[in-house]
């Protein structure tokens, strides 16, 4: 398993098994099937960091790394097909206005940190509140989508210095099947406000990526993002987006740390400015798209408020190129978003 694949899988399902634990026979069998390119669609339960349980389709080795971001579930090959329609997801954010280069936009966002539009904490907090949405599509053995449901999830995550943690996830308002390509629901979504997951984790069980308070110096922060957030290739803006997403899912930053984040972004000309958008929570911000040469089937959109200096949200969009999914979702298709709240 190469470093890129290991990184993607670690982001999807941070390891909680001791490093010296023996490899199970099931893991050995799974690895053998993957290496042989003979993995059939099946159900595999993962526990992504700070998210409720999702399903992941495991395709052949060539598409495994790119597919790791999809939240789908695969049925047995003889499962009945309900519909051959494509499963529609949320449309990409609609951009408008001037496309301001990221360096110029971040300079404006840094100035906004001194305005009273948003109150930053006096010190960083080991907590995160965010709303997320992850495409939940059921795929039959013939590659046909049989059901789809879109249900936002509101997450509150707090943790202590000893790495013990508390996680609560509640259901948001789901999107009706008519907005999901007309594909029937396999089960009814939970009522908004339903507690989907409530968990207390003992010390070390949460798999914290950033155990120490993030530095307020941009050079030092970049080094931490590289080491702890797997921003191994600093010419790859998509890796930076992933590192920042993990950071904001663990910490609420103070003003100086937020400034350091904006200064790191300011030095990244690889981001494509697309203008102003309104994110999924109705907030306006400048949007920047991160393209990755290692994963051209996906794009990450980062939204930053120029009025408060906050990083508001991140979305992942499938832009096509994977045969396993081109018959299921119509590109461009938003497959997940995470929006942080005060």
- Per-residue model confidence (pLDDT) at position 230: 86
> Could you read off the pLDDT of 222-270 as tens digits, one per residue?
999 999 988 988 889 999 999 999 999 999 999 999 999 999 999 999 9
Instruction: State residue 145's pLDDT score.
Output: 60
Neighbours of 270 (CB within 10 A): 17
* pLDDT at 143 (0 to 100): 62
Residue segments in the chain with a per-residue pLDDT below the cut of 50: 1-31, 33-85, 178
* Phi, psi (rounded to 5 degrees) for 48: -60, 150
Counting the structural domains of the chain, the total is 1
d(CA 85, CA 81): 10
Distances (CA, A) of 91 to 37, 95, 318: 33, 12, 11
Global pTM value:
0.76
Q: Judge if the upstream peptide bond of residue 332 is cis by omega within 30 degrees of 0.
A: yes
Residues in CB range of 274: below 8 A, 6 or more apart? 95, 99, 287, 288, 289, 301
Secondary structure percentages of the chain, helix, strand, coil, to 5: 25, 25, 50
Q: What is the pLDDT of residue 20?
A: 45
Q: What pLDDT shows up at residue 30?
A: 46
Q: What are the backbone angles phi and psi of residue 288, rounded to the nearest 5°?
A: -135, 130
Domain range holding 112? 3-340
């Amino acid at each position: 398993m190469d470093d890129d694949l290991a990184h993607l899988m670690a982001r999807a399902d941070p390891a909680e098994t001791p490093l010296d634990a023996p490899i199970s026979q099931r893991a050995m069998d799974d690895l053998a099937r993957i290496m042989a390119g003979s993995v059939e669609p099946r159900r595999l339960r993962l526990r992504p960091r700070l998210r409720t349980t999702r399903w992941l389709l495991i395709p052949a080795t060539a598409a495994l790394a790119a597919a790791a971001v999809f939240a789908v579930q695969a049925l047995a090959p003889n499962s009945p097909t309900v519909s051959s329609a494509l499963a529609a997801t949320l449309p990409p954010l609609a951009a408008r206005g001037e496309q301001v280069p990221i360096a110029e936009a971040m300079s404006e966002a840094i100035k906004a940190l001194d305005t009273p539009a948003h109150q930053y904490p006096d010190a960083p907090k080991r907590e995160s509140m965010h709303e997320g949405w992850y495409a939940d599509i059921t795929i039959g053995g013939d590659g046909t989508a049989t059901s789809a449901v879109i249900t936002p999830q509101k997450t509150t995550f707090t943790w202590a210095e000893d790495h013990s943690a508390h996680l609560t996830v509640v259901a948001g308002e789901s999107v009706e099947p008519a907005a999901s390509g007309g594909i029937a629901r396999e089960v009814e979504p939970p009522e908004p406000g339903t507690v989907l997951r409530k968990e207390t984790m003992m010390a070390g069980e949460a798999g914290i990526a950033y155990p120490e308070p993030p530095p307020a110096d941009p050079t030092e922060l970049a080094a931490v993002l590289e080491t702890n957030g797997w921003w191994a290739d600093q010419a790859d803006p998509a890796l930076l987006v992933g590192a920042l997403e993990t950071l904001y899912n663990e910490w609420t930053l103070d003003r100086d740390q937020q400034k350091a984040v904006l200064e790191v972004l300011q030095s990244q000309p690889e981001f494509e400015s697309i203008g102003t958008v309104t994110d999924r929570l109705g907030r306006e911000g400048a949007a920047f798209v991160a393209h990755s040469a290692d994963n051209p089937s996906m794009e990450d959109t980062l939204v930053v408020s120029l009025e408060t200096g906050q990083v508001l949200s991140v979305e992942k969009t499938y832009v096509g190129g994977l045969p396993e999914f081109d018959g299921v979702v119509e590109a461009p298709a938003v497959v997940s978003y995470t929006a942080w709240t005060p």
